[in-house]
Structure formats: C-alpha cells, structure tokens
C-alpha cells in the first residue's frame, strides 16, 4: 500500500490538478518519514511543471487530514530501540518539507477536514489555501507529551490575535473551522461533502498561463464553495472567549498565568478542557513554550525552523518528551512521571539548555534551506 496516493485530474487548457492523499486511515494519516520522503521531491517537480495548475493535499477517510507526526518511531529513536539518528533525520526532512510548502508559489490547497494536529498542522499551515470543514478539529497538544508546538508553531502562534497563541500552546485547546479562520490557520470554510465538487470545478477552470491566473482560478472556485457552505460554519470559541483569554494571559510571569488558569471557576466545557490540559501537562513543557514564543517573536520563517530543529532534537535527548509519549501513547497509563512536578520546581537553566545548538560539530542542517 502506497503511503501517499497521487491522482492526476485532467483540466482545461492542457493543465492538470494533482491530488496527493496521505494514505494511512487507520493511524489517522499520521505523518511518517516515508510520506515526507515521497512528498518532498514532488514539490520541486510540481513547481517547475508548467502543466500543473494546482495541488490538493488531503487525507484518506473522513476522520482526519493528519493527526500528527510518527510519534511511535520517534519514541523508539529516543529510547535507543530504533534506527540511530532517526529523530534528527525526521525533524530535518519534516521541517524542510513544511518550509517548502510555505514557499510554494503555485496554488497549494490543503483540505483540513477532521483532526489536524501536530505534524498535520505543519503541512497545513504553510499552504496558500487552507480549507477547513464542519468537522475540522485543529490543535497543538504537545504540552501533554512534554514537547512544544513545533512545525512552525513559533511562527503562527506568535501571529495570532491578542494573546491567543500563548493560550493555545499552554492549554492544547482545539480549534474549529471558525476559530481557524479567525486566528489565521484557515482561509476558506467548505463543507466536506463538496470536496469532489471542488475537484470538478477546478478541472473546469479556464486556466491562465501565469501564477496570477492560476491563483485567480482557485480563489474563484473556493469562494463559490464557501458561499454555498457558510451557513454551516460553527460558532468560534476563540472569539466567544477572546477577552477572557487575553485576561488569563495578562501576566508577566508564567507562574501567574498558570495559576490564573487553574484558579478559574467555570462551568464552560471549553475552558474546563483547557484547565485539565494545564493541570496534567508537563511543567517543563510549559516553561519551554513560554520561552519559545518569547525568543521567537521576531525570527524570520527560516530562522524559526532552524531554532525549532535545535529545540526538537534537544527535546528527544532530554527525557521529558519520551516520558510523555510513553505514558500517553505507548503504555497509555495516563500518568507521566514529569521531571519537574510543578512550575516552581522547574530549573530554568535546564530549560535554557534546550535552546542551544543541538549539533556541536556541524552546522544546523536547515541553515542552507
């Protein structure tokens, strides 16, 4: 079974639409190294092939676009049971692919239906047409496994309205389609049942010969489909809670932010889930996320991926990430033994060491990206 299914749809003016489908429905299309290595070279081919008008990236089945990265193989790499150097290789090639999507000039449509988490959001966030549907559920839940929102999270969380990015990083709160549009992770809302119609309408476009003509065609189709779908757009939880989110985050020190979240008395289920994630999350990861967004506020996109490679590789060596994966995804005991039991116990020097260069003897592998 191919990890990615490629389908060419013949279109007008001698053009074609390429549909690339992550093909691992059982794993909710978790992003594997094999998928990355198949997709990455295709990006260069599509960019230079004049017959390619647009790309549609989607996931098999109706439950998820992509529920995250290949955590199990990363865990084996962290514990010494997998291929030597796997973690470093995975993050290198994953981030190179994410960056290539951000820089892709032709129309690149990501169909973000269902669950979109972690590595899936890395693929989606850089697309120039990010479609969300009535069942989209988007999150960066890394605080629960001792990690941080990577795959460009430093970039897109820092660009969200108000203090929403920090809130989402600390609380792993899920976004629906309306939330995604509001915070800048979704461009168009289209009902999932209209995906086949989207392909047909793209095939029928009168494609121009330049980039402007290609983008005009795609935008026209997605605008029409959004207008036909918009009545089913769910209520935005972020907009409904925007003032409260900003109030909760309105402290200089992380310990005060976390205390304010945990002290909140509410019957609101969305906020209760946020509280639960903070209560059970890794204190070290919270400190890491707080520093990540502060340090990365003014970085370029390339600098973001370079810095995240160092941080991610260091996290695979520090133990907290491995413990979180073990407890939540491998043994599934749900009771991780975090290195630091509370924020007050977190050693800031330990956190700071996660942000140093992970490769001492050679340049960062993304430096020439």
pLDDT tens digit string along 169-223? Answer: 999 999 999 999 999 999 999 999 999 999 999 999 999 889 999 999 999 999 9
Going by pLDDT thresholds of 50, 70 and 90, the confidence category of residue 16 is very high
Does residue 15 surpass a pLDDT of 90? yes
Instruction: Give me the pLDDT at residue 359, please.
Output: 87
- Considering only 125-129, 291-295, 358-362, which range has the smallest mean pLDDT? 358-362
Average pLDDT, integer, range 270-292: 97
Instruction: Give me the pLDDT at residue 83, please.
Output: 83
pLDDT in tens, 28-65: 999 999 999 999 999 999 999 999 999 999 999 999 99
Instruction: Give me the pLDDT at residue 173, please.
Output: 98
Going by pLDDT thresholds of 50, 70 and 90, the confidence category of residue 326 is very high
Residues carrying an active site annotation: 69, 119, 142, 150
Which positions ≥6 away from 272 have C-beta within 8 Å? 266
Closest by CA to 284, choosing from 320, 308, 309, is: 320
pLDDT in tens, 232-267: 999 999 999 999 999 999 999 999 999 999 999 999
Does residue 81 surpass a pLDDT of 90? no
Instruction: Give me the pLDDT at residue 5, please.
Output: 98
Instruction: Give me the pLDDT at residue 313, please.
Output: 98
- As to burial, measured by CB atoms within 10 angstroms (0-12 exposed, 13-18 middle, 19+ buried), residue 270 is middle
Q: What is the DSSP secondary structure assignment for residue 242, as one 8-state letter?
A: H
Q: Considering Cα of 272, then 274, then 278, then 281, what sign does the dihedral take?
A: positive
Instruction: Give me the pLDDT at residue 128, please.
Output: 96
Average pLDDT over the chain reads: 97
**Tokens 């899920």 identify what position?**
174
What is the third-level CATH fold of 4-353? 2-enoyl-CoA Hydratase; Chain A, domain 1 (3.90.226)
Helices 86-103 and 71-79, packing angle to 10 deg: 140
pTM, 2 dp: 0.97
Task: Please state, in angstroms and rounded to a whole number, the distance separating the CA atoms of residues 335 and 48.
Answer: 50
Task: Please state, in angstroms and rounded to a whole number, the distance separating the CA atoms of residues 300 and 281.
Answer: 29
**CB-based burial, 234-262: b 16+ in 10 Å, e otherwise:** eebbbbebbeebeebbeeeebbebbeebe
The CA distances from residue 190 to 21, 64, 89, in Å, are 18, 15, 36
């Amino acid at each position: 079974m191919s990890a990615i299914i490629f389908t060419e749809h013949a279109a007008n003016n001698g053009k074609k639409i390429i549909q690339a489908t992550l093909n691992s429905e059982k794993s909710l299309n978790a992003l594997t190294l094999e998928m990355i290595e198949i997709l990455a070279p295709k990006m260069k081919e599509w960019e230079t092939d004049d017959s390619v008008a647009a790309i549609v990236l989607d996931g098999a089945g109706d439950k998820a676009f992509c529920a995250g990265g290949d955590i199990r193989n990363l865990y084996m790499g962290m514990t010494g049971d997998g291929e030597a150097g796997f973690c470093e290789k995975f993050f290198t090639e994953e981030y190179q692919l994410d960056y290539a999507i951000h820089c892709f000039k032709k129309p690149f449509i990501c169909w973000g239906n269902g669950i979109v988490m972690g590595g899936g959001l890395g693929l989606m966030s850089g697309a120039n047409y990010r479609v969300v549907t009535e069942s989209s559920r988007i999150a960066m839940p890394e605080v629960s496994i001792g990690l941080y929102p990577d795959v460009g999270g430093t970039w897109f969380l820092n660009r969200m309205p108000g203090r929403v990015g920090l809130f989402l990083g600390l609380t792993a709160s899920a976004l629906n389609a309306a939330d995604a549009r509001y915070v800048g992770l979704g461009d168009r809302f289209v009902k999932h049942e209209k995906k086949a119609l989207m392909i047909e309408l793209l095939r029928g476009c009168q494609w121009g010969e330049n980039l402007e003509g290609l983008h005009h065609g795609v935008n026209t189709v997605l605008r029409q489909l959004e207008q036909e779908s918009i009545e089913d757009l769910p209520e935005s939880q972020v907009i409904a809670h925007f003032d409260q989110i900003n109030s909760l985050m309105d402290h200089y020190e992380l310990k005060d932010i976390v205390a304010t979240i945990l002290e909140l008395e509410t019957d609101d289920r969305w906020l209760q889930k946020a509280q639960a994630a903070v209560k059970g999350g890794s204190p070290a990861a919270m400190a890491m996320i707080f520093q990540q967004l502060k340090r990365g506020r003014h970085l370029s996109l390339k600098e973001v991926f370079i810095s995240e490679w160092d941080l991610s590789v260091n996290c695979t060596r520090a133990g907290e990430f491995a413990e979180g994966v073990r407890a939540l995804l491998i043994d599934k005991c749900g009771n991780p033994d975090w290195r630091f039991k509370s924020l007050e116990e977190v050693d800031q020097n330990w956190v700071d060491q996660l942000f140093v260069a992970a490769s001492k003897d050679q340049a960062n592998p993304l430096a020439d990206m």
